């Protein structure tokens, strides 16, 4: 399975601590754990790394620069929100240990992506951040208690010795915050400065150190120029607010990306495999081979694609296909890796394992999407470093401007400017929203291949559907039935279905699938190729049997029934003549009409574009409620039609699944492939609907528009925040503690606003 590295806990420790273990990553046998070959490029691989030590948007550029300069590396994509890097590299020219070494030289750690998905390191990082937050919160409350008298007491009410005692107590309580709670900010800032770059933690760390240093000078020598004011309360409060924002951001990010990571971690580590003696032993999933028989107990996850050989159970495939109802599985049924066995024990013969499973293909799609960044996020990354340089210059200029008013006041203004202008909210505005939306779609069974497509999807005004396999199912259905006056068409359908079960003709099987067959006794069954089936039918009540036939008009000895918009026909007759007729057409997906109506209600233009005959396309379009249906279109005609729509100013979303849909899917502004689509169609698409539910299409458009709105809200808030707070800080009207509160609150508001998108879209 891609991106899941099977290393033990001891291996993790060795990988982190020793060059010998790191060199094992250069073994080609290890590559398949976190890499896969690139289609169409011999000797090229695609690998995923989880990066540690990333704290801001500038870190994404630093990681990209560290890796792009290596020989044999063709492309690097880094997503700061997921701390994941995707590399394209050439075997024999580049090697994994070179990446790890380059990242360590740049001040970052790296592990194959699967390692960082394990619960241990993640929980440890969460606990450490929680402890830092608790220490900052406790010390902040104590320091605020000691600072309160200075704010409320009248001049001269506090004696100098009591004031000195309160300052020394505050200094002691601020030390744990500085030495423990501030470690992430200081280490990140020191790493950036060591490599001659400016990250978002640089102004934060400078603000904290300057405020603490000036306060310490005033505490040690109250008679100096620094003796008028201390900022221990501002320092502790700022650190507490900043850690509060990061803690909540971490929790919300884990919840937002939870469905993505849950899917990647879904396969079990081991399973019971049947041995030569018929007994079962538990083995690692990676040791399974095609043809093995495995036993899946209730509550376990099926580790491979295969076929049930014995047993019966209900299986939950919701996370894989979007199908919310548990499905019945028995001997002969197909099961897929990653689905959850609920009620009974199943004996499954393994068909496809590892990277060949549908599960692995889905994980590959999700990994590819997780490292991509929308254009607005890339722009935010590019402007982060120049903006931070301007922040430092603005702080220095403010300190120089206010220095004549007193060193203490000048330092306070500089600290406020450093803190309040940190562009955390700007850098989070787009990735937080798009990642939340991608998580919501994943829970619905829609995989996002390109995060950039969200921006284009929000502007779509025309939706074009392919017909076969997209709007239709893979079998015919009865769409109209008529019967002899006085007879119930449904009852005749049940009677015909009982006869249809005796035939192998596709229309007979479709008839049997459209009605519940009546309980009848059939004898002397005879099937005539190209004609139909006849039998002696005895009703369940034991009444007199009668000869009946099901098939073509000529076979039944009747004249063909006429229907203007009809498709293929099957007739039912007895010895006395015609009883009923049934018209067939391609089976429309159950939610097709509702999806089309939802799109029309959203104001979208909907078209049907197919290579099938115009009559069949028009008939199906009318059943689905599509206003414009175009048939007899070749792949070149489809492409030309979409290009004409685009030239007319329309933004086109194409939904398809066939091999001939590849060019038009690539040409459309946004493209969706259904879950059963051929690989070419999926490769050209922006989104993949795993379960084939067409209701996901209007839900996607609705969510994309909500995402665009949320991103605009986030960017507007970040711009408004800086437009209001920066002048106040430069004018000396914003104390450092208020600057810290504003900076933390702005980032928190962006994350909370984006988290609203993580709710699964309804498609209404």
pLDDT number for residue 349: 92
Q: What is the mean pLDDT of residues 457-465?
A: 91
Residue 9 has pLDDT above 70, yes or no: no
Of the two residues 625 and 113, the one the predictor is more confident about is 625
Q: Which two tokens stand for residue 522?
A: 């059939």
Residue 281 has pLDDT above 60, yes or no: yes
pLDDT number for residue 178: 92
Q: Which long-range contacts (CB under 8 A, 24 or more apart) does 208-216 make?
A: 208/178, 208/182, 208/235, 208/238, 208/239, 210/411, 210/414, 210/415, 210/418, 211/235, 211/411, 211/412, 211/415, 211/736, 212/174, 212/178, 214/407, 214/408, 214/411, 215/167, 215/171, 215/174, 216/171
Domains in the chain, start-ordered, CATH in brackets? 9-116 (3.30.70.100), 289-352 (2.70.150.10), 460-471+589-668 (3.40.50.1000), 477-588 (3.40.1110.10)
Separation of alpha carbons 224 and 140, rounded Å: 26
Q: Which two tokens stand for residue 24?
A: 């094992």
pLDDT number for residue 19: 46
pLDDT number for residue 139: 93
466 is catalytic: yes
Separation of alpha carbons 169 and 508, rounded Å: 90
Q: What percent of the chain has pLDDT over 70?
A: 80
Three-state DSSP class for 568? coil
Q: What is the mean pLDDT of residues 698-721?
A: 88
Three-state DSSP class for 475? strand
* CA-angle at 724, arms to 723 and 729, nearest 5°: 105
Q: What is the mean pLDDT of residues 656-682?
A: 69
Mean pLDDT of the chain: 78
- In angstroms, the Cα distances linking 495 to 181, 525, 554, 572, 658 are 77, 15, 20, 9, 37
Of the two residues 432 and 12, the one the predictor is more confident about is 432
Q: What is the mean pLDDT of residues 184-212?
A: 83
Three-state DSSP class for 538? strand
Q: Residue 177: pLDDT band by 50, 70, 90 thresholds?
A: very high
Per the DSSP assignment, residues forming a β-bridge with 77 are 86
Q: Do 223 and 728 touch, CB atoms closer than 8 A? A: no
Q: Strands 84-90 and 280-284, how do they pair?
A: unpaired
**Residues in Cβ contact with 234 at an 8 Å cutoff, skipping those fewer than 6 apart:** 211, 415, 735, 736, 737, 740
pLDDT number for residue 724: 85
Q: Residue 257: pLDDT band by 50, 70, 90 thresholds?
A: very low
Residue 601 has pLDDT above 90, yes or no: yes
Separation of alpha carbons 606 and 286, rounded Å: 46
pLDDT number for residue 597: 93
Per the DSSP assignment, residues forming a β-bridge with 284 are 270
Per-residue DSSP letter, 702:
H
Q: Do 687 and 700 touch, CB atoms closer than 8 A? A: yes
Three-state DSSP class for 520? strand
**Residues in Cβ contact with 558 at an 8 Å cutoff, skipping those fewer than 6 apart:** 571, 573, 577, 578
pLDDT number for residue 283: 83
> Which among 176, 181, 183 has a CA at the least distance from the CA of 142?
176
C-alpha count within 13 angstroms, C-beta hemisphere, residue 510 = 21
Q: Do 750 and 717 touch, CB atoms closer than 8 A? A: yes
- Identify which of 378-387, 399-408, 467-476, 624-633 has the greatest average pLDDT: 624-633
Separation of alpha carbons 585 and 506, rounded Å: 12
Q: Residue 173: pLDDT band by 50, 70, 90 thresholds?
A: very high
Residue 480 has pLDDT above 70, yes or no: yes
Least confident of 107-116, 164-173, 510-519: 107-116
Q: Locate tokens 């006395």: which residue?
A: 576
Q: Strands 520-528 and 532-539, how do they pair?
A: antiparallel
Of the two residues 177 and 100, the one the predictor is more confident about is 177
Q: Is the pTM of this model over 0.75?
A: no
Q: Residue 385: pLDDT band by 50, 70, 90 thresholds?
A: low
**Strands of 670-674's sheet in order across:** 446-448, 687-689, 670-674, 652-656, 462-465, 605-609, 628-630
pLDDT number for residue 20: 43
Residue 720 has pLDDT above 90, yes or no: no
**Residues in Cβ contact with 541 at an 8 Å cutoff, skipping those fewer than 6 apart:** none
Three-state DSSP class for 247? helix
- Identify which of 14-18, 405-409, 578-582 has the greatest average pLDDT: 578-582
Least confident of 267-276, 366-375, 516-525: 366-375
Residue 681 has pLDDT above 80, yes or no: no
Q: What percent of the chain has pLDDT over 90?
A: 10
Separation of alpha carbons 328 and 470, rounded Å: 25
Of 115, 192, 466, 661, the active-site residue reads 466
- Tell me how far the alpha carbon of residue 99 is from its chain's centroid: 26
Three-state DSSP class for 669? coil
Residue 587 has pLDDT above 60, yes or no: yes
Q: What is the mean pLDDT of residues 449-476?
A: 81
Separation of alpha carbons 334 and 316, rounded Å: 13
> Which among 34, 182, 21, 193 has a CA at the least distance from the CA of 106?
193
Least confident of 218-232, 267-281, 297-311: 218-232
**Residues in Cβ contact with 420 at an 8 Å cutoff, skipping those fewer than 6 apart:** 725, 726, 728, 729, 734, 739, 742, 743
Least confident of 169-173, 553-557, 591-595, 672-676: 672-676
Separation of alpha carbons 388 and 489, rounded Å: 76
Q: Residue 675: pLDDT band by 50, 70, 90 thresholds?
A: low
Residue 119 has pLDDT above 50, yes or no: no
Three-state DSSP class for 613? coil
Q: Strands 577-588 and 605-609, how do they pair?
A: unpaired
Q: Do 216 and 235 touch, CB atoms closer than 8 A? A: no
Least confident of 167-176, 351-360, 392-401: 351-360
Residue 171 has pLDDT above 90, yes or no: yes
Separation of alpha carbons 591 and 655, rounded Å: 15
Separation of alpha carbons 327 and 316, rounded Å: 6
Q: What is the mean pLDDT of residues 498-512?
A: 81
> Which among 464, 448, 461 has a CA at the least distance from the CA of 374?
448
Separation of alpha carbons 19 and 34, rounded Å: 19
**Strands of 577-588's sheet in order across:** 472-483, 577-588, 569-574, 546-551, 532-539, 520-528
Least confident of 189-198, 241-250, 583-592, 693-702: 241-250
Of the two residues 122 and 490, the one the predictor is more confident about is 490
- E strands in 16-108: 35-37, 44-52, 73-79, 84-90
Per the DSSP assignment, residues forming a β-bridge with 539 are 520
Q: What is the mean pLDDT of residues 352-366?
A: 70
Phi/psi at 91 (5° precision): -65, 135
**Residues in Cβ contact with 612 at an 8 Å cutoff, skipping those fewer than 6 apart:** 467, 468, 631, 632
pLDDT number for residue 474: 63
């Amino acid at each position: 399975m891609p991106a899941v590295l099977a290393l033990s806990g001891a291996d993790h420790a060795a990988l982190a601590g020793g060059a010998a273990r790191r060199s094992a990553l250069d073994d080609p046998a290890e590559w398949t754990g976190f890499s896969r070959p690139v289609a169409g490029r011999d000797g090229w691989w695609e690998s995923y790394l989880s990066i540690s030590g990333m704290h801001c948007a500038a870190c994404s550029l630093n990681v990209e620069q560290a890796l792009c300069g290596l020989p044999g590396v063709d492309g690097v994509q880094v997503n700061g929100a997921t701390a994941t890097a995707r590399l394209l590299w050439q075997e024999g020219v580049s090697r994994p240990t070179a990446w790890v070494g380059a990242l360590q030289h740049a001040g970052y750690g790296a592990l194959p992506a699967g390692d960082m998905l394990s619960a241990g390191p993640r929980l440890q990082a969460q606990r450490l951040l929680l402890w830092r937050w608790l220490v900052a919160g406790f010390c902040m409350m104590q320091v605020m208690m000691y600072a309160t008298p200075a704010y409320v007491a009248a001049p001269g009410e506090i004696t100098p010795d009591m004031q000195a005692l309160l300052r020394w107590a505050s200094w002691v309580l601020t030390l744990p915050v500085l030495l423990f709670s501030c470690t992430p900010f200081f280490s990140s800032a020191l790493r950036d400065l060591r490599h001659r770059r400016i990250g978002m933690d640089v102004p934060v760390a400078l603000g904290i150190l300057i405020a603490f240093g000036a306060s310490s000078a005033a505490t040690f020598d109250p008679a100096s120029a620094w003796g008028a004011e201390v900022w221990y309360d501002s320092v502790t409060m700022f650190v507490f607010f900043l850690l509060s924002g990061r803690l909540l951001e971490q929790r919300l990010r884990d919840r937002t990306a939870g469905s993505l990571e849950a899917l990647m971690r879904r396969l079990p580590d081991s399973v019971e495999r049947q041995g030569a003696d018929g007994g079962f032993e538990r083995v690692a999933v990676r040791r399974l081979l095609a043809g093995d028989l495995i036993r899946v107990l209730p509550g376990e996850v099926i580790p491979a694609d295969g076929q049930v050989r014995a047993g019966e159970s209900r299986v939950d495939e919701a996370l894989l296909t979007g199908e919310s109802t548990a499905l019945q599985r028995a001997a002969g049924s197909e099961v897929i890796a990653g689905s959850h066995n609920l009620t009974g024990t199943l004996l499954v013969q393994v068909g496809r394992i590892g990277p060949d499973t549908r599960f692995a293909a889905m994980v590959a799609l999700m990994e590819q999407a997780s490292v991509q960044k929308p254009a607005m996020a890339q722009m935010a990354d590019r402007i982060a470093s120049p903006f931070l340089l301007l922040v430092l210059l603005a702080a220095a200029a403010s300190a120089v401007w206010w220095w004549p008013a007193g060193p203490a006041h000048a330092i306070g203004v500089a600290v406020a400017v450093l803190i309040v202008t940190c562009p955390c909210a700007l850098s989070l505005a787009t990735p937080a929203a798009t990642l939340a939306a991608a998580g919501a779609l994943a829970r619905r069974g829609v995989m996002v291949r390109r995060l950039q497509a969200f921006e284009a999807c929000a502007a779509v005004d025309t939706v074009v559907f392919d017909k076969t396999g997209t709007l239709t199912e893979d079998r015919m259905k009865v769409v109209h039935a008529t019967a002899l006056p006085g007879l119930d068409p449904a009852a005749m359908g049940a009677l015909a279905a009982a006869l249809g079960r005796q035939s192998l003709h596709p229309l007979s099987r479709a008839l049997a699938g459209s009605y519940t067959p009546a309980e009848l006794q059939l004898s002397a069954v005879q099937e005539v190729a190209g004609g139909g089936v006849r039998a002696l039918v005895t009703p369940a009540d034991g009444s007199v049997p009668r000869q009946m036939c099901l098939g073509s008009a000529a076979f039944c000895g009747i004249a063909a029934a006429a229907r203007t918009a009809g498709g293929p026909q099957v007739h039912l007759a007895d010895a006395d003549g015609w009883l009923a007729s049934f018209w067939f057409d391609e089976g429309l997906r159950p939610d097709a009409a509702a999806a089309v109506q939802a799109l029309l209600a959203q104001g979208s233009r909907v078209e049907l574009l197919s290579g099938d005959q115009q009559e069949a396309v028009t008939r199906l379009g009318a059943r689905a409620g599509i206003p414009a249906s175009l048939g007899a279109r070749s792949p070149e005609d489809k492409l030309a039609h979409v290009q004409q729509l685009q030239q007319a100013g329309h933004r086109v979303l194409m939904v398809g699944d066939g091999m001939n849909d590849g060019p038009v899917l690539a040409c459309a502004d946004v493209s969706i492939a259904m879950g059963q689509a051929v690989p070419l169609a999926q490769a050209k698409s922006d989104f993949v609907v795993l379960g084939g539910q067409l209701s996901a299409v209007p839900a996607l458009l609705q969510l994309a528009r909500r995402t665009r709105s949320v991103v605009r809200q986030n960017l507007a808030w970040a711009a408004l925040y800086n437009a209001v707070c920066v002048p106040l800080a430069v004018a000396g009207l914003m104390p450092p503690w208020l600057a810290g509160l504003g900076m933390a609150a702005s980032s928190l508001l962006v994350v909370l606003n984006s988290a609203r998108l993580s709710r699964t879209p309804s498609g209404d």
